[in-house]
Amino acid sequence: MNKGGPTKAAYDKAYNAKPEQVNKREMRNKARAELMRDGKVKKGDGKDVDHKTMLDGKGTNAKSNLRVVDKETNRGWRKTNGSKYG
């Protein structure tokens, strides 16, 4: 169960079903699949496919906008920037 309980779980389910979130998730999955075909990442390697220009900032899945980074580096930026999410 979600750490926030049933209320947070319901919110997350509704949020993740929004069309814009579904579209971004599809783009992230396509980016990873493309780099997997190129042999740059593989399942379970602890790496993330990062968009240099975020999808929120009108970034694309062009190879020039993608890079492979360590999972902790990609997901840990919130903690180092003083964000309330870290």
For 3-60, what is each residue's pLDDT tens digit? Answer: 788 999 998 899 889 998 999 999 999 999 999 999 999 999 999 999 999 888 888 9
Residue, of 85 and 59, whose pLDDT is higher = 59
Domain that holds residue 38: 5-80
Q: What is the pLDDT of residue 58?
A: 86
Angle, CA of 70, 75 and 76, to the nearest 5°: 95
Our count of domains for the chain comes to 1
Q: Where are the beta strands (DSSP E) in the chain?
A: 47-51, 66-70
Q: Is residue 73 in a domain?
A: yes
pTM recorded for the entire structure? 0.72
Q: Is residue 61 in a domain?
A: yes
Residues facing residue 70 across a β-bridge: 47
Q: Is residue 55 in a domain?
A: yes
When pLDDT is averaged across residues 57-69 and rounded to a whole number, the result is 92
Q: What is the pLDDT of residue 78?
A: 66
Q: Is residue 67 in a domain?
A: yes
Q: What is the pLDDT of residue 81?
A: 62
Q: Is residue 21 in a domain?
A: yes
Q: Is residue 85 in a domain?
A: no
